[in-house]
Amino acid sequence: MQIPLALLYVSFVAAPGCSSLPTRGDSIRNTINSIINIAQITLVHIKKLKTKLLVAPQIEFSTPSIVGLTSISHDLGLLDNELQSPSSELLSQIQADVSSLEGRVRSLALTVDCPIQARPRGETGDNMFPDSHLHLILAKVQGYLDKLLLNKDKLKVC
């Protein structure tokens, strides 16, 4: 009789820790991990796509500073818009990744009460040099995501 009572006691003591809902901190930590994972997966997609393309020209550009969630969300929105160029069907997976990443960053920012700007409007211009544009946008996204992963602590500030 003592064993069933002991098991019953242990189940009541251990159960609250096992069955509780995730806390806000757990949710934030999970979202940050998800953002980091998507960024890493997107970089793999970019490298895979680059191996299929002709040799890329050396392209120089400046990557925006990574300040916090507000700026990250804005920058990812701009990159998402650039990826939606009509001449870049090859970029559909990377565009989906960046769009998902932007949505998660926006959601995280709202969760931690950061001010969020309106999503940048898409400006899909007619590109006279689609191959150059393809290489440029891939380089921009890759550079930004590399920088984001190096500054992942910025995912914890507005």
**pLDDT tens digits, one per residue of 120-144:** 776 555 555 556 778 888 889 999 9
Q: What DSSP assignment string belongs to 46-87?
A: HHHHHHHSSPPP-----PPP--SHHHHHHHHHHHHHHHT-TT
Show the low-confidence residues of the chain (pLDDT under 50): 4-10, 12, 15
* Cβ–Cβ under 8 Å, residues 80 and 87: no
CATH topology of domain 23-156: Growth Hormone; Chain: A; (1.20.1250)
What pLDDT, on a 0 to 100 scale, did the predictor assign at position 20? 65
What pLDDT, on a 0 to 100 scale, did the predictor assign at position 3? 57
The burial of 109, by beta-carbon neighbours within 10 Å (0-12 exposed, 13-18 middle, 19 or more buried), is given as: buried
What pLDDT, on a 0 to 100 scale, did the predictor assign at position 6? 47
Per-residue pLDDT tens over the stretch 2-14: 554 444 444 545 5
pTM here is: 0.76
What are the two backbone dihedrals, phi and then psi, of residue 51, each rounded to the nearest 5 degrees? -70, -25
Cα separation, 113 vs 151, in Å, equals: 20
Radius of gyration of the chain (CA): 21
128-153: string of b/e by CB count within 10 Å (b at 16+)?
A: eeeeebbbbbbbbbbebbeebeeeee
Q: Where are the domains of the chain?
A: 23-156
